[in-house]
Structure 1
Amino acid sequence: MALILAASLISAPLQADVQLPNLGESSQEGLSPLQERQIGESAMRELRRSGAMSEDPELVAYLRQLGGRLLDASGETGVQFVFFPMLDRSINAFAIPGGLVGVHTGLIVLAQHESELASVLSHEIAHVTQHHFARLLEGQKMAPWVTLAALGLAIVAASAGKGDVAMAGLMGSQAYMIQRQLDYTYMFEQEADRIGMQTLQKAGFDQAAMPTFFDRMQKNSRLGEGNAPEFLRTHPVTYKRISDAQARLKDKPYQQFKDSLDFLFVREKARFLQMDEQDALEYYRKTLSEKKYGHLPSHLYGLALAQLRAFDADAAWATLQQSKQALGKTHSSLEYLAGSIRLAQKRPSDALQIFKEASKRFPASRALVYGEIDALIANQQLSEALASAQYASELYPSDAYIWQRISKIQNARGDAVRQHQAQAEYYSRLGEYTAAIEQLQQAQNAGGGDFYLLSAIEARLKELKQELIPLK
């Protein structure tokens, strides 16, 4: 279910007793690591520009934490992975060369247990570590005129899961010709299943979740191809694959695996983000009144999110207290929502206190770091906000959204040079080097700034121009 490359190239099924070798290292001759990274970065830029990527800090942080746990278990150190959410109801996930793994919110919502979601990520990780994309290109003998940009565009179209709509946008292009040829084969899928299940076990998740999840999706697709989840259309999730995965569990004792609170709250937020304002309110009110929920605290959390988006902050606050009471304690997601509600109520001092106290209790929460900076800005404590944001930028040097906040603070302080400089760092971390260069040029022309600041800007401008060369 690595759902990135759509078409119909399925090899003959392997016999059940065939032991698949680890071919990753010896079979990537057709595509260098640098080319894989460039393809991935190109696809990532297009996905971000499409507006389909979710920037929700809690979804982003959770997927990266879950992915990191699986990577630690896999022992993979040769690829720098990035896991990111796509705001899309379709049941899909995909791996992009270079270690980029996208997960649709529809897949997160469908997962009944955390191990099921982990099984998808472990499968996608295996596709990357085994260099299936490079091996596929080599096997298809792609023509020499194929460009990395065209490959990236083909990946974007396939991962979007839009069927004919995506195809129509590619007609007549190199990307269309490539996209019609690419698909993971049965052998690659079986290899990703095998390695993925090993990773699940080492990471402390339920190995049985993979065939269970596959089987449920397969059964749900029986009504016809038009109703099949995207990954069933793009990858051969067959009963043989399911039975092969189940055979690997033979003689293994049954174990119970408890879902983390992080998963339960993130799954509910993903569900909420997929719905519009009125649908979300109606859904949560109806399911709560009918007691159709699996976890009351996270369900109440979803209602509070819906109420806040409907500009009923007071009701959201009351529902949030019910969620905390049902849980019997608090959680970083609940505290982030609490601070967000206070900001919406124009109570920035109260919001700041919530974020500060919660950050001490949940120091790993990036969302709470953002919240504290936002509350300082709302409270007109710009010097403190700048100091907090600069400290955060040192802790998280690749975080674009901290630099976006630094730019906002510098704008509020009336420092145009540093505002453009910070905005350039924001764009550079998104891989938008042209926009970053433009911002630095605006900083140079803004007037003001001492010799040392302007020299730093000039040096950074040269660095970014060098980053832009491989993209041309």
Structure 2
Amino acid sequence: MMQSMRRSRLLAPFTLMLCWVLAFPPAAFGFFGSLTIEKEKQIGEEFCLQLQQYYPVVRDPFLASYINAVGQKLVQQLGSQPFQFRFFIIEDPSYNAFAVPGGYVFVNTGLIRIMEREDELAGVLAHEITHIHQRHMAKRMDKAKFGNIAALVGGLAAVLLGGAAAAPILAGTMAGAETAMLKYSRDDEREADTLGFKWATKAGYDPRYMMSVFRKMARQRWFEGSDIPVYLKTHPELESRIVDLSHLYATYELNHQERPINPAFTYFRQRMEALYGNPQRMKRELLIRLSHEPDNVPYRYSLALIYKRLGDRSKAAEAYQQALNRDPYNDMIKRDLAIFYYESNRPQEAQTLFKELLQRNSRDEVSLYYLGLILQDRRQVDEALPLFEKLHGINPAFTEVYYNLGALYGEKQRLGPAHYYLGLHSRMAKDLPTALFHFRKALTYLGAQEKYHDEAQAEVFRLERMRVRVSN
């Protein structure tokens, strides 16, 4: 009950924004005729924009980088794609994951917390990626022939966020019969399972764990009574699909040998718990566990994060060092220690560690970001800018970089991209009037053929449709 109330409060302003959009005639959206790939991208962008205004999306660099890495590893198995896939974590305790046309995949923290290994996360992501790849939702939207994008975004929210929880969005947007047309069919789910199984296997994951995470969700229904996990509502007939997957697994000649858990996933889970769980409770639990397992490195790492979150920096530094002493070649701990040095005004020590990490992995998103910050702090614009641009190219969902790119382009007097990125930053900060100001300014500096022009124009169009006004 409390969970539904929480969602309703979050969705109320979401509904208001959709109603603003509805004030415009359908022709304003150009949403007639067959649903093209470009229109599909537009719908995904609209949904993502609205969702991120009112749902708490996890911004932690390591967590955002990790889920993107797993997702992109799976996407690589598909071959050439018309979409640029983006992966997000939503801070919400419910068991849910969903895909939006145009390449957007979302997973709730609640679902991740019941996972025990990366293979389970890969199984869920592979299933959602397949829904996009096979254009399941897009085909259903095309058949439904919605009058405008606002109604469609409302319908998507109602279906993907889970029935009653999204009821406020339905007010004034669409009829129940139209909503029903958006729900995945049994054939859609079977295809997403079968092809997701294939992508996960090709990427080197054990597909049995796609079944294991589904079983966990199915079991949870018995513990929660009538409060059925959202994923079971939006992806129905889970039990029969588990049987189908079991039969599919039996047809593959796979190595049944149990593989060790990827250490990166252990740290991913530990970090999520430390940053978004109850810190005092976790501190007590970790101290008890460490009294029995003093050499457990992930526990030491988590304790350092907890002390840091609680503001006890001396104990945090001690815990980091104890963890690193027990595992001196652990890059994840080194990266966190480097961040700790940066935040403790010890930039030279931080820079040394970040450079060492990037020598081993030049696509380390977190190290690129923080090394860029250090160089930006020193006003080394020409060195910092390519690091942030590289990061943005690797992971467009790494939104923390927007402000830095805007500021650095401003330093170089490249005002078109400067205003464009500052607009993106303001939009993510929910300051829509300032975002509209920057996007309009970007267009005054960008030629029609220049990079960012079309994106800035689209942002202006969206915000003006929402009746956003720039203060004088």
Shorter-chain TM-score bucket reads 0.7 to 0.9
- Alpha-carbon offset, residue 74 of structure 1: 3.1
Identity, % of aligned pairs? 26
For residues 48 and 232 of structure 1, the distance between their equivalents in structure 2, rounded to whole angstroms, comes to 23
For residues 169 and 284 of structure 2, the distance between their equivalents in structure 1, rounded to whole angstroms, comes to 36
- Alpha-carbon offset, residue 282 of structure 1: 3.4
2:49 pairs with 1:53: no
Relative to structure 1, the CA distance from residue 458 to residue 276 in structure 2 (aligned partners, 3 Å threshold; closer, same or farther) is: farther
For residues 455 and 172 of structure 1, the distance between their equivalents in structure 2, rounded to whole angstroms, comes to 38
CA contact (8 A) 2:402 2:425 kept: no
- Post-superposition Cα deviations, 1:216-242, rounded to whole Å, max 9, x if no partner, equal 321232234444322012221432211
- Alpha-carbon offset, residue 397 of structure 1: 4.9
- Alpha-carbon offset, residue 76 of structure 1: 5.0
Alignment match of 1:389 (pick from 368, 384, 390):
384
Stretch deviating more after TM superposition (456-465 or 69-78): 456-465
- Give matches, 1:83-162, under 5 Å: 83-138=87-142, 141-145=143-147, 147-160=148-161
For residues 96 and 370 of structure 1, the distance between their equivalents in structure 2, rounded to whole angstroms, comes to 28
Q: Secondary structure at the match of 2:105?
A: strand
- Post-superposition Cα deviations, 1:28-54, rounded to whole Å, max 9, x if no partner, equal x95221221111000110122124211
Higher relative helix content: 2
Alignment match of 1:264 (pick from 263, 266, 280):
266
2:71 pairs with 1:67: yes
- Post-superposition Cα deviations, 1:298-325, rounded to whole Å, max 9, x if no partner, equal 2322221111111112211111122223
Determine the structure 1 residue equivalent to 2:307.
307
- Alpha-carbon offset, residue 336 of structure 1: 2.5
For residues 86 and 339 of structure 1, the distance between their equivalents in structure 2, rounded to whole angstroms, comes to 26
For residues 341 and 215 of structure 2, the distance between their equivalents in structure 1, rounded to whole angstroms, comes to 44
Determine the structure 1 residue equivalent to 2:231.
231
Stretch deviating more after TM superposition (99-108 or 368-377): 368-377
For residues 152 and 352 of structure 2, the distance between their equivalents in structure 1, rounded to whole angstroms, comes to 48
CA contact (8 A) 1:167 1:176 kept: no
- Alpha-carbon offset, residue 102 of structure 1: 1.0
Determine the structure 1 residue equivalent to 2:171.
171
Determine the structure 1 residue equivalent to 2:5.
none
Determine the structure 2 residue equivalent to 1:205.
205
- Give matches, 1:444-459, under 5 Å: none
- Post-superposition Cα deviations, 1:65-113, rounded to whole Å, max 9, x if no partner, equal 1112112223353432112222222221111001111122222222112
- Post-superposition Cα deviations, 1:173-227, rounded to whole Å, max 9, x if no partner, equal 3387754553212221111111111112211111211222212321232234444
CA contact (8 A) 1:60 1:84 kept: yes
Determine the structure 2 residue equivalent to 1:278.
280
Relative to structure 1, the CA distance from residue 419 to residue 470 in structure 2 (aligned partners, 3 Å threshold; closer, same or farther) is: closer
CA contact (8 A) 1:116 1:213 kept: yes
CA contact (8 A) 2:88 2:106 kept: yes
Stretch deviating more after TM superposition (47-56 or 396-405): 396-405
Determine the structure 2 residue equivalent to 1:21.
none
For residues 466 and 443 of structure 1, the distance between their equivalents in structure 2, rounded to whole angstroms, comes to 9
2:347 pairs with 1:362: no
Task: Report the TM-score, using the length of structure 1 for normalisation.
Answer: 0.78
Relative to structure 1, the CA distance from residue 209 to residue 322 in structure 2 (aligned partners, 3 Å threshold; closer, same or farther) is: same
Q: CA RMSD in A?
A: 3.5
For residues 192 and 455 of structure 1, the distance between their equivalents in structure 2, rounded to whole angstroms, comes to 42
CA contact (8 A) 2:440 2:460 kept: no
Relative to structure 1, the CA distance from residue 263 to residue 201 in structure 2 (aligned partners, 3 Å threshold; closer, same or farther) is: same
Q: Secondary structure at the match of 2:89?
A: strand
Relative to structure 1, the CA distance from residue 105 to residue 425 in structure 2 (aligned partners, 3 Å threshold; closer, same or farther) is: same
Stretch deviating more after TM superposition (120-129 or 394-403): 394-403
Determine the structure 2 residue equivalent to 1:25.
none
Relative to structure 1, the CA distance from residue 39 to residue 351 in structure 2 (aligned partners, 3 Å threshold; closer, same or farther) is: same
- Post-superposition Cα deviations, 1:222-280, rounded to whole Å, max 9, x if no partner, equal 23444432201222143221111111122645122333232222122222232144344
Relative to structure 1, the CA distance from residue 410 to residue 201 in structure 2 (aligned partners, 3 Å threshold; closer, same or farther) is: closer
- Alpha-carbon offset, residue 63 of structure 1: 1.7
Determine the structure 2 residue equivalent to 1:10.
none
Determine the structure 1 residue equivalent to 2:458.
467
For residues 458 and 229 of structure 1, the distance between their equivalents in structure 2, rounded to whole angstroms, comes to 47
CA contact (8 A) 1:343 1:351 kept: yes
Relative to structure 1, the CA distance from residue 444 to residue 430 in structure 2 (aligned partners, 3 Å threshold; closer, same or farther) is: closer
Q: Which runs of 5+ in 1 are unaligned?
A: 1-28, 446-453
For residues 213 and 259 of structure 1, the distance between their equivalents in structure 2, rounded to whole angstroms, comes to 15
- Alpha-carbon offset, residue 370 of structure 1: 1.4
Q: Specify the code of the residue in structure 2 equivalent to 1:336.
A: R
CA contact (8 A) 2:300 2:319 kept: yes
Determine the structure 1 residue equivalent to 2:23.
none
